[in-house]
Amino acid sequence: MPDDLSRTPASAARPPQRLDRIARRLKRVEGAQAQANADRARLREGLDGATARVARALARLDGLAPRGQDALDPARVLSETLGRATRRIGGLSEELREAGRANEAKAAQIAHLQDQLRELRVERAGLEEKLATLSREKTALARDARQSAAALTALAASRNRAKNNAFWSLAPFFADLADFAAYAERVLYAPRRLYAMLMRADIEADASLSPELRAAASKIADLFDPIFYLAEHSDVALAGTNPLLHYLTDGAREGRRPHPLFDPEYYRAQKPLAPENALLDYVEAGSAAGLSPHPLFDPQFYRARYPDVAESGAEPLHHYEVWGGREGRDPSPIFDTEYYLARRGAAFSGEIALIDYLGEGWLAGVDPHPLFSARDFAAAAGIAEFAEAPLAVYRKHPELWASAKPHPLFDPLYFAAELARHGLEPRPDLSPLGRFCAFGPEADLSPHILFDAPLYRYQVEHEQGRKLEEPALLDYLKRGWHDKSLLPNLLFDPATYAEAQGETEIPELLHYLLAGDKEGARTHAMFDAGFYNAQRTDGGPATALEHFWAEAGDPAIPSHPHAGRPLSREPIDWVRSVIDVQGNFDPDFYRLSYPDLGTMSNVDAVAHYLQFGKGEGRFGAAREVLNASERKIRDVPLGFFFDEYLEYSPDLETIGTGFHPLIRHYLPYGAAENRTIGRWQFHLDTLALDFPTPSAPIALQHELKRVDVCLLIHVFYADLWPELAAFAKNFEGVSKDVFVNVVDAAWTPRFQRELRELCPGAFVQLSNDDGRDIGGFMRLLDNVDLGRYEAFAFMHTKKSPHIPEREGEYWRRSLMTAFAGSPEIVRRNIALFREDQGVGLIGSKEWRSTEIGKNVEVYERLLDMFEIPPEHRGLEYLSGTMFMMRPAIVRRLYEVLRETKWEYGGDQPLEYHMDGQLAHGVERLVGNLVRQMGYRFVWA
């Protein structure tokens, strides 16, 4: 019943109509009274005429008496006539008395009715006053309704109780309706029902109507809404006809709607052979058969969703109108009362939500379901303007279901594929939206590629401990999106999105679909939509995230400006296993995470875990890792590149070199230690700042001052230091840095002093003898800026104890003389390096060699290691490793050999030192490198 009776014609007519009915009955009584008066007058007139005729007859009788005996027969006739007339007069008098008595009774009745009329007028004044009170109360209650949907039920109850008083005041008039009180109480004094009941009673009391009609009225009265009917059909209201009777006699045939939630046309579409009276058919058969009286009322759903309805045997629509609607129950899977009322707010009429929506709600632009957007549906369906409630349009037009998205997050095609993936079929009787919504909270179905229902469920139920009570997407749209920590999909982090885009008034994921993608928004620390889209070549309309997830089986496009590579599939799959694998053991996880277990069968893996692994603290499943790490799924880093993790945490090599062993290290340990998981972390998060920062690549702006030569000296025999220092002095005419590696076994404080005295400013380092002179040079190079010099000179305290001392001395000195024999030689060589970019190595021609000796194996291994092609594998080198060399060759040697584990020969016999060590191989390799890198030898 509308709240404001004074504004609703049908409602406003109610108390006066009752008075009018009484007035009409009074009029009929008055008519009877007038007729009785007329009859009395007519009788009196007849009596007077008869009396006159008797008088005239008596007069004639008196005049005839002297005429004789013959005159007695006519007198006897007259006497008999008079007797008859007298009897007639007596009868008429009796009738007159009877009419007088009847007249008195009628008058008494009139007086009684007039008394009632007065009383009713007094009551009407009282009712009007009460109506005013009710109106004020309605305002207050409507205010309450704005505050919470729950208050609505209380409001309805309160209102009905108030109205109850009004109707009870009419009770004496309807005292003959024995079941009035019980019925009124049962229907919560719902005005529509009471009004319909009165109409039904009126019809039932009218014996002039056929029994069939009266029976039909009785059947449909519960679903007939006289208020709606009169409001909808003003001609009926103007005629003052009983609306229920009108519907039965004319309205049904004319296709008039008997109730706001009964659409005859829609009903007939389900049952083409239904008789003329669709509502009657619905009551008699359709309801039980599960046919829908309205696109937005689904009796099957209603019964299934609310078992108490089915148990009570109540007709669903009647139940919904009288009880369910007021309790906030949903009339169909696609009409969400709670959602609707929350959005309708203060404008809600206080009526039933669905009726409100079908009336004013949709015109106010309020959508009744989180997954229905009238605006987006209109755009998708090409509808310029709706003629009725948009959701009803959607429901009534199956031809639009496959092509028109009812909401940006509801993709019918994706949903159909999702059904197929789960082995489910579409239902022709349900729209895709209805099909989706009809699933319970347990179903992890998603109608959009960007909503990951199982992921969402995991976060809500496992991490937050809240049980989902409806499908995940609905929970997200209705409440979950307010929690910025809940990810709708792995690459959509609402917190990141909000930080980049600002706070949105709609779910961030929806905002992304509608606007954010076009704006190049960042959806996740590792996903920059603008960056991603800029690299796409498909030209498709899909957003970056949709494209990514469609291609997620093999991501090919980088999504982070600084990652330099596409996201890896492995972290995503790892998260999936967290979600999908129930229990605490996953043999696949176990094998992959612990490479030391090899390729165990599932049975063996379980046995190992139970017998050993668990006790050793091994994790049995990915979820265990997260739990033990006290981390949430959003903490799993999608920017985890295991190779880069290993590169910056080389200490983890023993754990394993694949993704699984390393992620199970990172989550519980590495993250707390802030270990690097990708080079992308080295960059400034430009999106978080509001001023431009230099874009990569960053150019080297500063050229370091170049030095002519870097002199590398390796000292094993300290006694030869003065000789080398003398050669080193020949470099004084050029700019130089001197680096000296002293084998620590040869070091003494005195030698240190001698070093400093002979070569002040030199860099002196102590190290072991691993790798002989080559190893020493490499260790020195740890301290050298390789790009700073024009050339490198290599010298070492070579003694060659396997040959006569003098030959050894000659070998050593002639090697050094060739490139450092005098300041002039040094200057000339430096100039040569500067002027001839083809010069790679300057060394003594006397010690050019092509002998491989016992070094074949190590040499060839080095050739492979340095990827020397066949054409440069010819052997030509400087025997003795003292020369000047171009920095590029030095760099190549150093970069490959810097981490080499060199042999230590300190405890080996002389033969060991002569040949066959890695250092001997490198000595020979140098020549190949010179040629491979496009340089040439200068033999001096």
Partner 1 sequence: MSITTVLHEASLTGAPKIGGIIAVALKKDFDTRVLCLDGGPLLPWIEERLGAQSVKCLDLGNSRNHTPFAQRVRQATAALEEEPGDIVYVNSLSASEYVVAAKRLGKRVVLHVHEKAAEMAHLLGHQLTKLEVLPLCDGVVLAAEEIARDLVEVFHHLPEHVLDFGIAVDAEEIALAARQGEAEARNAAGEPIRWGERLAIGMCGHASRRKGCDIFYEAAAAAPQHDFVWVGNWGPPDTPENVVYERFLEERLPNLYVSGLAANPYQYISRFDLFFLSSREDPNPVVLAEALLLGVPILAFSKTTAVADFLGRSAILCHGAANTEDAARVLNALDPEEIRSDEFRRLSDGFRARFDIAQKIGGLSGFLGSL
Rule CB under 8 A: choose which of 62, 554, 690, 835 binds partner 1. 690
Rg (CA), the chain: 53
Nearer to partner 1, 176 or 690 (CB): 690
- Applying CB under 8 A, does 702 fall inside the site for partner 1? yes
- Applying CB under 8 A, does 674 fall inside the site for partner 1? yes
What is the full DSSP assignment across 620-688? SSHHHHHHHHT--GGGS-TT--HHHHHHH-GGGTTT-SSHHHHHHHIIIIITTTT----GGGGS--GGG
Nearer to partner 1, 446 or 767 (CB): 767
- Which residues on neighbouring strands pair with residue 767, listed in sequence order? 743
- Applying CB under 8 A, does 683 fall inside the site for partner 1? yes
Residue 335 phi/psi, 5-degree rounding, is: -115, 110
> CB 562 → partner 1: shortest distance, Å?
8
Q: Which stretch binds partner 1 (CB under 8 A): 285-293, 299-307, 527-535, 744-752?
A: 744-752
Residue 514 phi/psi, 5-degree rounding, is: -80, -35
813-832 as b/e: b if 16+ CB within 10 A? bbbbbbbbbeeebbeebbeb
Site string for partner 1, 621-660 (x = CB under 8 A): ---------------------------x------------
Question: Strand 763-767 and strand 527-528: pairing?
Answer: unpaired
Dihedral (CA of 715, 721, 726, 729) sign:
positive
What is the full DSSP assignment across 848-890? EE---TT-HHHHHHHHHHTT--GGG----EETTS--EE-HHHH
- Applying CB under 8 A, does 693 fall inside the site for partner 1? yes
Question: Strand 848-849 and strand 877-878: pairing?
Answer: antiparallel
- Applying CB under 8 A, does 610 fall inside the site for partner 1? no
Q: Which stretch binds partner 1 (CB under 8 A): 35-43, 292-300, 541-549, 736-744?
A: 736-744
- Applying CB under 8 A, does 765 fall inside the site for partner 1? yes
> CB 880 → partner 1: shortest distance, Å?
23
In the region spanning residues 103 to 132, those forming contacts with partner 1, defined by CB under 8 A, are none
Residue 587: other Cβ atoms inside 10 A: 20
Rule CB under 8 A: choose which of 234, 584, 748, 822 binds partner 1. 748
Nearer to partner 1, 640 or 859 (CB): 640
Rule CB under 8 A: choose which of 701, 835, 870, 899 binds partner 1. 701
d(CA 671, CA 596): 23
Q: Which stretch binds partner 1 (CB under 8 A): 249-257, 503-511, 536-544, 696-704?
A: 696-704
> CB 741 → partner 1: shortest distance, Å?
7
Rule CB under 8 A: choose which of 175, 182, 700, 910 binds partner 1. 700
Residue 120 phi/psi, 5-degree rounding, is: -65, -35
Rule CB under 8 A: choose which of 599, 689, 867, 901 binds partner 1. 689
Nearer to partner 1, 686 or 800 (CB): 686
- Applying CB under 8 A, does 761 fall inside the site for partner 1? yes
- Applying CB under 8 A, does 684 fall inside the site for partner 1? yes
Rule CB under 8 A: choose which of 374, 557, 764, 882 binds partner 1. 764
- Applying CB under 8 A, does 767 fall inside the site for partner 1? yes
Copy the structure tokens of residue 78. Answer: 């007259």
d(CA 658, CA 571): 12
- Which residues on neighbouring strands pair with residue 528, listed in sequence order? 522
CA-to-CA dists, residue 766 to 36, 747, 751, 774, angstroms: 144, 8, 12, 15
Tokens 């409602």 locate to: 11
Nearer to partner 1, 187 or 725 (CB): 725
Nearer to partner 1, 115 or 782 (CB): 782
Rule CB under 8 A: choose which of 95, 470, 685, 809 binds partner 1. 685
Nearer to partner 1, 73 or 690 (CB): 690
Residue 812: other Cβ atoms inside 10 A: 22
CA-to-CA dists, residue 406 to 237, 295, 412, 421, 431, angstroms: 39, 15, 9, 22, 10
Q: Which stretch binds partner 1 (CB under 8 A): 324-332, 413-421, 581-589, 742-750?
A: 742-750
- Applying CB under 8 A, does 485 fall inside the site for partner 1? no
- Applying CB under 8 A, does 502 fall inside the site for partner 1? no
Reduce the DSSP state of residue 743 to 3 states and report it: strand
> CB 757 → partner 1: shortest distance, Å?
8
> CB 385 → partner 1: shortest distance, Å?
47
**Cβ contacts of 827 within 8 Å, gap of 6 or more:** 733, 734
- Applying CB under 8 A, does 717 fall inside the site for partner 1? no
d(CA 927, CA 182): 112
> CB 792 → partner 1: shortest distance, Å?
16
Nearer to partner 1, 138 or 714 (CB): 714
Site string for partner 1, 783-822 (x = CB under 8 A): x-x-xx----------------------------------
Q: Which stretch binds partner 1 (CB under 8 A): 60-68, 422-430, 752-760, 899-907?
A: 752-760
- Applying CB under 8 A, does 900 fall inside the site for partner 1? no
- Applying CB under 8 A, does 782 fall inside the site for partner 1? yes
- Applying CB under 8 A, does 686 fall inside the site for partner 1? yes
Pair 715, 740: CB distance under 8 Å:
yes
Pair 32, 109: CB distance under 8 Å:
no
> CB 727 → partner 1: shortest distance, Å?
20
Task: Give the rounded distance of the alpha carbon of 205 from its chain centre.
Answer: 58
Angle at 187 between CA 184 and CA 188, to 5 degrees: 80
In the region spanning residues 145 to 174, those forming contacts with partner 1, defined by CB under 8 A, are none
d(CA 618, CA 624): 10
> CB 652 → partner 1: shortest distance, Å?
13
- Applying CB under 8 A, does 699 fall inside the site for partner 1? yes
Rule CB under 8 A: choose which of 271, 576, 675, 913 binds partner 1. 675
d(CA 284, CA 267): 13
Pair 245, 200: CB distance under 8 Å:
no
Nearer to partner 1, 274 or 755 (CB): 755
Q: Which stretch binds partner 1 (CB under 8 A): 206-214, 246-254, 483-491, 782-790?
A: 782-790
Nearer to partner 1, 472 or 759 (CB): 759
> CB 885 → partner 1: shortest distance, Å?
20
> CB 564 → partner 1: shortest distance, Å?
12
Pair 533, 527: CB distance under 8 Å:
no
Pair 343, 372: CB distance under 8 Å:
no
User: How many residues sit in the footprint of partner 1 (CB under 8 A)?
Assistant: 50
Q: Which stretch binds partner 1 (CB under 8 A): 233-241, 629-637, 780-788, 889-897?
A: 780-788
Residue 61: other Cβ atoms inside 10 A: 15
- Helix (H) / strand (E) element for 831: namely helix 823-835
In the region spanning residues 858 to 887, those forming contacts with partner 1, defined by CB under 8 A, are none
d(CA 699, CA 358): 66
Copy the structure tokens of residue 354. Answer: 């669905």
Name the nearest CA neighbour of 808 among 865, 879, 744, 886: 879
Reduce the DSSP state of residue 451 to 3 states and report it: coil
In the region spanning residues 407 to 466, those forming contacts with partner 1, defined by CB under 8 A, are none
Copy the structure tokens of residue 170. Answer: 């009419």
Rule CB under 8 A: choose which of 698, 806, 870, 910 binds partner 1. 698
**In the complex, which residues of this chain contact partner 1 (CB under 8 A)?**
648, 674-676, 681-686, 688-691, 693-694, 696-702, 704, 739, 741, 744-745, 747-750, 752-753, 756, 760-768, 779, 782-783, 785, 787-788
